[in-house]
Structure 1
Amino acid sequence: MQRNQTTDHSLTDDIQGLSLGIFLCGLGIHLLTSVGLITGQTAGLAVIIAYLTGYSFGVVFFAINLPFYFLAYKRLGAEFTIKSLISVSLLSVVTELLPFGFVVQALNPALGAVMFGSLVGLGLLAMFRHNGSLGGLGVIALLIQDTTGFKAGWVQLITDGVIFAVALLLFPATVVVYSLLGAVVLNLIITFNHRRDRYIAI
Structure 2
Amino acid sequence: MPAPMPIPTEYRYSHTPIEDAQGFAIALLTSATGIIFLSSLGFITGQTAGLALIIAYASGWSFGTVFFLINLPFYAFAWKRLGAEFTLKSFFCVTALSLLVDYLPIGLQFETLNPILGTTIFGVLTGYGLLGVFRHKGSLGGLGVIALMIQDRTGFRAGYVQLIVDAVLFTVAFFLFDTRTVAYSLYGALILNGVIAFNHRRDVYIAD
TM range (shorter): over 0.9
Find out whether 1:59 has 2:59 as its counterpart.
Answer: no
Could you say if the C-alpha distance between residues 135 and 4 of structure 1 is closer, same or farther in structure 2, counting changes exceeding 3 Å?
closer
Letter in 1 for 2:143: L
Tell me, in whole angstroms, the C-alpha distance in 2 between the residues paired with 1:200 and 1:24: 25
How far apart are residue 96 of structure 1 and its match?
1.1
Letter in 1 for 2:202: R
How far apart are residue 190 of structure 1 and its match?
0.5
> Percent identity, aligned pairs only?
58
Contact 2:10–2:135 under 8 Å retained in 1: no
Tell me, in whole angstroms, the C-alpha distance in 2 between the residues paired with 1:141 and 1:200: 20
Task: Give RMSD over aligned pairs.
Answer: 1.4
Could you say if the C-alpha distance between residues 19 and 150 of structure 1 is closer, same or farther in structure 2, counting changes exceeding 3 Å?
same
How far apart are residue 8 of structure 1 and its match?
2.4
Kindly provide the CA deviation profile for residues 137-165 of structure 1, in whole angstroms up to 9, marking residues without a partner as x.
Answer: 00010000001111100000010111111
Could you say if the C-alpha distance between residues 17 and 105 of structure 1 is closer, same or farther in structure 2, counting changes exceeding 3 Å?
same
Tell me, in whole angstroms, the C-alpha distance in 1 between the residues paired with 2:88 and 2:22: 16
Find out whether 1:140 has 2:146 as its counterpart.
Answer: yes
Could you say if the C-alpha distance between residues 75 and 35 of structure 1 is closer, same or farther in structure 2, counting changes exceeding 3 Å?
same
Could you say if the C-alpha distance between residues 155 and 117 of structure 1 is closer, same or farther in structure 2, counting changes exceeding 3 Å?
same
How far apart are residue 7 of structure 1 and its match?
2.7
Kindly provide the CA deviation profile for residues 88-107 of structure 1, in whole angstroms up to 9, marking residues without a partner as x.
Answer: 00101101111100111111
Find out whether 1:109 has 2:115 as its counterpart.
Answer: yes
Could you say if the C-alpha distance between residues 50 and 75 of structure 1 is closer, same or farther in structure 2, counting changes exceeding 3 Å?
same
Q: How many equivalent pairs are there?
A: 199
Find out whether 1:180 has 2:202 as its counterpart.
Answer: no
Unaligned runs of at least 5 residues, structure 1: none
Equivalent residue for 1:31? 37
Contact 1:142–1:152 under 8 Å retained in 2: yes
**TM-score, length-scaled by structure 2:** 0.93
Kindly provide the CA deviation profile for residues 71-111 of structure 1, in whole angstroms up to 9, marking residues without a partner as x.
Answer: 11111110000000000001011011111001111111111
Kindly provide the CA deviation profile for residues 19-65 of structure 1, in whole angstroms up to 9, marking residues without a partner as x.
Answer: 11111110000000001110000000000000011110000000000
